[in-house]
Structures are given as C-alpha cells and as structure tokens.
Amino acid sequence: MSARAVSLSTTASDLMSLTKPRLSSLVLATTAGGVWLAPGELSIARVLVTLLSTAGTVGAANSLNCYLERRSDRFMARTQNRPLPSGRMEPGVALGFGLALAGVSLPALALGANLLTAGLGLLALLSYVLVYTPLKARTSAAMLVGAVPGALPPLMGWTAVTGQVDSAGFVLFSILFLWQIPHFLAIALFRKEEYAAAGLKSVPIERGDESSRAQLVLYLVALVPMTMLPYQLHIAGGWYLGVAALLGLAFLAMGAWGFFRQLGKPWARQTFFFSLLYLTGLFAALMLDSQANG
C-alpha cells in the first residue's frame, strides 16, 4: 500500500473517530426504537434517511465537541489519544468536518422526516455544543443540560413518524433523560481524578462521593416508574412491563447497595457497565413487545 493510501486511510479513520462511533451507535439504536414504537409507518427509504441523518447530526455534535475540548482531552486517559489532543489532526480540519456534517445532515433530516424532527436535531446539536460543552468546565449542573440532547433521539424517531410531540414520545424522552443521570454519575465517580486533571466539574468533585451515590439512587427511583408508563400508554404490553420491572429493580438494588455500603470505584465501574446492559435490555423489550406495530 502506498504512503498516500495509508495517509488517506488514517485520515478517514481519525475523522470517523471524531464522531464517537460507540456513542453514536447507541443514539442510533434509540432513534430506531422511537421509529419502531411510533404508530404509523414510514417507507424504508425515509427510515434510512432519518437514521443516517440523525447519526450525521450526532456525529457533527461529537466532532465539534472534540474540537472545543481538544485541550482538556489531553488530561484524560480515555481521550488523550484522540486525533486532536494527540496532534494527528489540525483543529481546523475537525471544525470544518463537524460543520459540514451538520450542514448536510440537518437538511436531509428535514427532507427525510419532517421539519419538527430536524428542529429537534438542531436543538440537540446546539445544546450539546454551545451549552453543555462549555458548562462542563464551570459547573456539575452541566450533567443535567447534557442529558437533554442525549434524550432527544428516541423522541426524534417518534416525531419522524407521527409529526408531533405527544405524551408517549415525551415518555421515551424522559426515560432516556432519567437513565443518563445515574450513567453519568457512575462515570464521574470512577473517573474522578481524570475529570479534576482536565479541569472539568462533576458532582463527585463539587459535592463529594456520598452525594453522588445518593443522587444516583434518587434518579433510579424516578426512572423505574417512568419505565412503567409505556405499558400504561399502550406502547408496549405486559411482557415488556415485567422485563422493565425486573431490570429497574436490579438497577435500583445495585445503586442502593453502593449507597448504603459506601462503595467506591469498582462498584461505580460495574454500575456504569450495568447501565448499558439495562438500556439495551429495556429497549429490546420495548421493541419486541411493541403494541403500536404488533
């Protein structure tokens, strides 16, 4: 392989890494869940355009986030090898890539889905890049702000089909919003020193580990009944209700165990990984036991 081909391959790989593929794949899955659960139908072509455009919008937000956090990323083990902090890519390239991706994805979302969905995508992009990202260095309350764009994808999937924000779509948004807080708190607990070195604020840094564990449990207490509402709204059936209850109680028990035993990093890391399994299981049950399309 020629040096030019290797260089192009490396650049393409670095550009892809700016979009944070793991995070984007999770967002794509929850968007697909919203599309699947919503009453009504979209053509396969429109579904593909909606999903790809949403992925592009998320990728744009992540790329611009990498651009803005290129200095603080040098101090965290999980981010210091990204293209910008490692010096493999010029900042202007990442900035241009993020803006170009947004410039293509948002109009495509408006055409492939509708203006409401594109508007939600724009809200997610702007709130993530212009509000959440700069707030991370100022206050731990940024966690709540960041949970908003993170919770919009399933609602976007819903509105792509229905063309409106209704109670069922809002419940999907709320489930993702409430889930993110324990997820974020778990990360902040086992990466506390890295956050401090990077100059980023978090609940463990500002209020301590005990407060973080308490908040984690409180948000789980709110999350469990919220996951019951899809059954009440006839989005999903009894089988989903049972799975949601079991998963929710397991998640809550794990959080309570850490709170009452005052556990540290190993527990926080386990809680983080369990939160991913929890969300995967919850949405799998939702889609398999969907009433709207069943």
- Stated pTM of the model: 0.92
Length of the chain: 294
Q: 129: burial class by Cβ within 10 Å (0-12, 13-18, 19+)?
A: buried
Domain 11-163, CATH: 1.10.357.140
Vertex 111 angle, CA 39 and 53, to 5°:
80
206 pLDDT higher than 70: yes
Q: What does the pLDDT look like over 174-197, one tens digit per residue? A: 999 999 999 999 999 999 999 998
Decide: 209 and 264 in contact? Cβ < 8 Å. yes
Torsion, Cα of 215, 27, 267, 189 (10° steps):
-60
Residue position matching structure tokens 């493999």:
88
**How far from chain centre, in Å, is Cα 202?**
17
Write out the two tokens for 26. Answer: 């999770």
The Cα–Cα gap between 90 and 250 comes to: 45
Q: Domain limits of the chain?
A: 11-163, 166-294
- The whole-number pLDDT of residue 74 equals 86
Distance CA 250, CA 278 (A): 9
Alpha-carbon span 92 to 33, nearest angstrom: 35
Q: How many CA atoms lie within 13 A of 235 on its CB side?
A: 25
State the angle between helix axes of 3-18 and 44-68 in degrees (0 to 180), rounded to the nearest 10.
90
Burial class, 7, CB count within 10 angstroms (exposed 0-12 / middle 13-18 / buried 19+): exposed
The single residue listed with the structure tokens 């744009």 is 60
CA distance 101 to 57: 7
Q: Mean pLDDT in the chain?
A: 91
- Per the model's pLDDT, the better-predicted residue between 5 and 135 turns out to be 135
What's residue 7's pLDDT? 56
Contact 200, 72 (CB under 8 A): yes
Per-residue pLDDT, 8: 60
| Virtual torsion, Cα 102, 106, 107, 112, nearest 10 deg | 140
Integer Cα distance of 192 and 195 in angstroms: 5
Least confident of 71-80, 149-158, 181-190: 71-80
CATH class of 166-294: mainly alpha
The 10s digit of each residue's pLDDT in 133-150 is 999 999 999 999 999 999
